[in-house]
Amino acid sequence: MALSITSAIPDPDLLDLPWNLPLDLWPESTIVALPKGISRHLVRFVNLAGYVVAIKETTAELARQEYDMLRSLQRLEIPCVEPVAVVTDRVAEDGEALAPALVTRHLRFSLPYRALYSQALRPDTATRLVDALAVLLARLHIGGFFWGDVSLSNTLFRRDAGAFAAYLVDAETGKLYDQGLSTGQRENDLEIGRVNIAGELLDLQAGGRLDEDVDPVAVADGIVAAYRQLWTTLTETETFPEAERWRIAKRVERLNDLGFDIEELSISRTEDGAKVVIQPKVVDAGHHSRRLLRLTGLDAGENQARRLLNDLDAYRATGGREALDEEQVAHEWLAKVFEPVVRAIPRELRGKLEPAEVFHQLLEHRWYLSQKEGRSVPLAEALTAYIEDVLRHRRDEITMVNPPTATLTVPVGVIGPSSPLPGADDEEDWRAKV
Amino acid sequence: MATVTFDKATRIYPGSTKPAVDAIDIEVADGEFLVLVGPSGCGKSTTLRMLAGLEEVNDGHIYIGDRDVTDVPPKDRDIAMVFQNYALYPHMTVAENMGFALKIQGVNKEERAQRVLEAAQLLDLEPYLGRKPKALSGGQRQRVAMGRAIVRQPQVFLMDEPLSNLDAKLRVQTRTQIASLQRRLGVTTVYVTHDQTEALTMGDRIAVLKDGVLQQVGTPRDLYESPSNVFVAGFIGSPAMNLFTTKIVSDGLQFGTGVAKVDRDVVASATGGTATVGIRPEDLQIKSSGEGLPVEVDVVEELGADGYLYGHAEVDGQRVDIVARVDGRKHPNAGEKIVVTPVPQHVHAFDSESGERLTKPVSAPAGV
């Protein structure tokens, strides 16, 4: 059978997949039932040796385009799924041509928004998701990427020390602009995001999966506020008297706190020489992640890194380690604090959460126990309690399998004769529901 | 409903000296379907994005109706980008899917219901308003997606290559649907495509762009019959018009051993002793011998009732590719040598230096 696979990271196992069948007919034995967002193309998940890939049937041009786009975004260090391959020239047994496919690697420990709640989506979870999406959008815009289809469905979320980190999944409608984005383009993305998020939450509401305290429109509006605030902090021009030069350091600190580094700051004087004008020109997300990676070699989410670094700093401040070199203390902290915790997790529980997230939750649990018992509970003691009382009862999130979610694919472009399908939902007066 | 006016609208990207869109002047009438067409990089999408408010306008103005929207944010322009998003929400009814964006805008319930009903009637979806999308056929689902844009009742629809991800068969079906729906709705529409066939079949008028410069605006017939320069002549029509440079002779243009007749005053205005002659494939007559341009047949593509003959000729020592429409059943075969001559009233002539049209525009029949 003819087949053509283009890939930068070729995996021979890809050849074993039943490419001669339309994706919707692939045997259940091949398919991994992962929850999906709402997609306009058919997307299914498949287990390769050691990892899961998402396969999307689309056109050759779109698959190629999206593959290249995801590679470009990776080079810009934008959080997104990893493109694996473009598969074209698929032919069925009877000789009929089959749709080309894009293969991306499933992000370990990532969750679609529909899997982030067991009963109904809670207000604080909804808000944290939207906040994470606002950060992702600002990062994309800084990189000159116009998304064109901002939505919860096109995003995957990873737990990040009490918050979420958002990853772009679908770059099909996106475009990179070398000269950066205009205000109009950014505003348009924001408006698309607002409408899509509202639609997604209204859909959860219609399906009885949204906590009744959540106002879909208000939460959706939240992305606009969160994004604007972040964008202003990242890009606004500040003017102050020469004597207040400490404000330069303050600005750097403020951005660091938000998780951004300033790569380039423009500093100038006003014409009369009385005032200083500063404006960040190039900012880079991942301030804490990078510091943690440099000190310990650990790769963690931005908030997880912040949390671990706080613990590391506290470790340094105690036991007479202040005088020691930061790298040296980090090495010691890793060997004596972090790694023992990770090693203590029973093997069968290691698929529950990422190690950095486990460490964060352990610190939370220790705080909770200390509050309850009115004493400083040692880490080792808290660890035993955490494993038995918390971790053991969590679901595995390494590759989330449940709950299976209903998704709907809109076949693009089929405008055929009106032919209602049997089994329609109960008719009700639609006016009550607009 | 509104007109759209580009008044010397210009877009220059930062760091570039050459405008991506150069002082473009287009007036789109109320209710008109205007297609922007041209090759990749011609500025058509930039032009649309300027109208949408996604690109800054560096010079000139854009009006929607009488309102200058040059500096108005996208969401306040009262426009709708169609087909940006096909997602339908599985738990919401057809009516909810169509109307939820109005809810976000704060439109009251009665008006939402009214607008959804009107859109549903237009789209033949009224019986399904209370159903969930999964109970609909693919075509109905797509119409629901269209409904999302329609209920907003924008002044202008904008579409940027909406069919580019469809296979050939669906593209033909869908373009017919879009064109007929646009005519029923009567909403001013600006549509971008790189495909000249799509432009010819859908647009009331077509604007052809190249390198950021507007080449010609006209009805499909204007563009086909009276292209204003060599670029438009070669771009519009498939297979493309035969175009080559040839000598000006006393009563027209040298055409092999014969002459392609054009008005004397036409060739008089040409610069230099040559001109570019243009003949559409269907305007070439085929003979086995005699006066005309000798052509060696390379291949014949049979398309049923008719077909296309692809061959080559030699003009002033240069190889020139020739395409001619032939009878699908009775035609010369590959390797044969034939002679082609132009149908007299369908000879186009262009200045060989500027590329501008020399022949008079073909006048439209009375009543058009």
pLDDT at B173: 80
Domain edge (last residue) among A50, A83, A106: A106
Q: Tell me phi and psi for residue B118, to 5 degrees.
A: -60, -45
Q: Are residues A201 and A148 in the same domain?
A: yes
Judge whether A255 lies within some domain. yes
Contact A188 B74 (CB under 8 A): yes
Which chain B residues have a beta carbon less than 8 Å from that of A195? 101, 104
- The span from the CA of A14 to the CA of B299, in Å, is 41
pLDDT at B357 over 80: yes
Mean pLDDT, range A160-188, rounded to an integer: 90
Mean pLDDT, range A135-150, rounded to an integer: 94
Substitution target in B71, B105, B131, B143 with the highest count of A β-carbons within 10 Å is B131
The C-alpha of A233 sits at a distance from chain B's nearest C-alpha, in angstroms, of 22
Which chain B residues have a beta carbon less than 8 Å from that of A62? 165
Mean pLDDT, range B274-299, rounded to an integer: 95
pLDDT at A428 over 80: no
- The span from the CA of B208 to the CA of B44, in Å, is 8
**Would you give the end-to-end CA distance of chain A in angstroms?**
50
Contact B104 A411 (CB under 8 A): no
A388 contacts: CB under 8 Å, gap ≥ 6: none
Q: What confidence category does residue A297 fall into, taking pLDDT thresholds of 50, 70 and 90?
A: confident
Q: What confidence category does residue A382 fall into, taking pLDDT thresholds of 50, 70 and 90?
A: very high
- The span from the CA of A358 to the CA of B10, in Å, is 55
Return the structure tokens found at B284.
């070439």
pLDDT at B49 over 90: yes
The C-alpha of A372 sits at a distance from chain B's nearest C-alpha, in angstroms, of 43
Which chain B residues have a beta carbon less than 8 Å from that of A209? 91
Q: Are residues A371 and A433 in the same domain?
A: yes
* 3-state SS track over chain A: CCCEEECCCCCHHHHHCCCCCCHHHCCCCCEECCCCCCCCCCEEEEEECCEEEEEEECCHHHHHHHHHHHHHHHHCCCCECEEEEEEECEECCCCCEECCEEEEECCCCEECHHHCCCCCECHHHHHHHHHHHHHHHHHHHHCCEECCCCCCCCEEEEEECCEEEEEECCCCCCEECCCCCCHHHHHHHHHHHHHHHHHHHHHHHHCCCECCCCCHHHHHHHHHHHHHHHHHHHHCCEEEEHHHCHHHHHHHHHHHHCCEEEEEEEEEECCCCCEEEEEEEEEEECHHHHHHHHHHCCCCCHHHHHHHHHHHHHHHHCCCCCCCCHHHHHHHHHHHHHHHHHHHCCHHHCCCCCHHHHHHHHHHHHHHHHHHHCCCCCHHHHHHHHHHHCHHHCCCCCCCCCCCCCCCCCCCCCCCCCCCCCCCCCCCCHHHHC
Range with the poorest average pLDDT among A170-174, B3-7, B219-223:
A170-174
Tens of pLDDT, residue by residue over A72-113, are: 999 988 999 999 999 999 999 898 999 999 999 988 888 888
Q: Are residues A122 and A220 in the same domain?
A: yes
Domain that residue A92 falls in: 4-106
Q: Are residues A127 and A226 in the same domain?
A: yes
Contact A198 B141 (CB under 8 A): no
- The span from the CA of A39 to the CA of B190, in Å, is 27
Which chain B residues have a beta carbon less than 8 Å from that of A431? 95, 113
Q: Are residues A129 and A198 in the same domain?
A: yes
Domain edge (last residue) among A212, A235, A258: A235
Range with the poorest average pLDDT among A117-121, A221-225, B21-25, B280-284:
A117-121
Substitution target in B17, B165, B171, B198 with the highest count of A β-carbons within 10 Å is B165
ipTM given for this complex: 0.75
In this structure, are strands A51-57 and A43-48 parallel, antiparallel, or unpaired? antiparallel
Judge whether A17 lies within some domain. yes
pLDDT at A412: 37
The domain that contains A166 carries what CATH number? 1.10.510.10
Contact A434 B177 (CB under 8 A): no
pLDDT at A275 over 50: yes
Q: Tell me phi and psi for residue A78, to 5 degrees.
A: -85, 135
pLDDT at A420 over 60: no
SS3 label, residue B85: coil
Q: Are residues A66 and A127 in the same domain?
A: no
CA angle B346, B348, B351 (to 5 degrees): 170
The C-alpha of B234 sits at a distance from chain A's nearest C-alpha, in angstroms, of 26
Which chain A residues have a beta carbon less than 8 Å from that of B138? 410-411, 414, 416
Residues A298-327 as b/e (b if ≥16 CB within 10 A, e otherwise) read bebbbbbbbbbbebbeebbeeeeeeeeeee
pLDDT at B168: 75
Contact B134 A428 (CB under 8 A): no
- The span from the CA of B257 to the CA of B315, in Å, is 10
In the 8-state DSSP scheme, what is residue B73?
A: -
Return the structure tokens found at B320.
């020139």
Contact A184 B140 (CB under 8 A): no
Would you state the torsion angle of the CA atoms of residues A360, A366, A368, A371, taken in this order, to the nearest 10 degrees? Answer: -140
Residues B276-303 as b/e (b if ≥16 CB within 10 A, e otherwise) read bbbbbbebbebeeeeebbebebeebeee
CA-nearest residue of chain B to A172?
B165
pLDDT at A401: 45
- Exposed, middle or buried, B327 (CB in 10 Å: 0-12/13-18/19+)? exposed
pLDDT at A109: 85
Judge whether A154 lies within some domain. yes
* 3-state SS track over B43-72: CHHHHHHHHHCCCCCCEEEEEECCEECCCC
Q: Are residues A247 and A225 in the same domain?
A: no
CA-nearest residue of chain A to B108?
A434
Return the structure tokens found at A115.
């899997």
Domain edge (last residue) among A282, A309, A337: A282
Mean pLDDT, range A151-171, rounded to an integer: 91
> How distant, in Å, are the alpha carbons of A268, B32, B70, B120, B190 from that of B187?
51, 7, 21, 16, 10
Which residues lie across from B26 on neighbouring strands?
Answer: B6
Range with the poorest average pLDDT among A191-200, A210-219, A310-319, A356-365:
A310-319
Nearest to B332 by CA among B341, B342, B340: B340
Q: Are residues A117 and A130 in the same domain?
A: yes
Contact B89 A203 (CB under 8 A): yes
pLDDT at A431: 44
Number of domains in chain A: 4
Judge whether A329 lies within some domain. no
The C-alpha of A172 sits at a distance from chain B's nearest C-alpha, in angstroms, of 11
Q: What type of residue sits at position B303?
A: L
Tens of pLDDT, residue by residue over B160-205, are: 888 776 667 778 888 888 888 899 889 999 999 999 999 999 999 9
Contact A202 B100 (CB under 8 A): yes
Judge whether A244 lies within some domain. yes
The C-alpha of B27 sits at a distance from chain A's nearest C-alpha, in angstroms, of 23
CA-nearest residue of chain B to A422?
B135
A389 contacts: CB under 8 Å, gap ≥ 6: A365
pLDDT at A37 over 70: no
Nearest to A195 by CA among A166, A226, A220, A228: A220
Contact A206 B91 (CB under 8 A): yes
pLDDT at B66: 95
Mean pLDDT of chain A: 84
Give the sign of the dihedral formed by CA B263, CA B268, CA B272, CA B273.
Answer: positive
Judge whether A322 lies within some domain. no
Q: Are residues A102 and A36 in the same domain?
A: yes
What is the count of residue pairs from A and B with beta carbons less than 8 Å apart? 191
CA-nearest residue of chain A to B133?
A408
pLDDT at A316: 87
Q: Are residues A250 and A177 in the same domain?
A: no
Q: Are residues A242 and A150 in the same domain?
A: no
CA-nearest residue of chain B to A429?
B130
pLDDT at A230 over 80: yes
Nearest to A132 by CA among A259, A280, A249, A7: A259
- The span from the CA of B206 to the CA of B217, in Å, is 6
CA-nearest residue of chain A to B123?
A418
Contact B116 A430 (CB under 8 A): yes
Which chain A residues have a beta carbon less than 8 Å from that of B168? none
Mean pLDDT, range B11-16, rounded to an integer: 88
Which chain A residues have a beta carbon less than 8 Å from that of B86? 40, 410, 412
Judge whether A309 lies within some domain. no
Judge whether A293 lies within some domain. no
The C-alpha of B118 sits at a distance from chain A's nearest C-alpha, in angstroms, of 13
Which chain A residues have a beta carbon less than 8 Å from that of B127? 420
This prediction has a pTM of: 0.79
Q: Are residues A157 and A92 in the same domain?
A: no
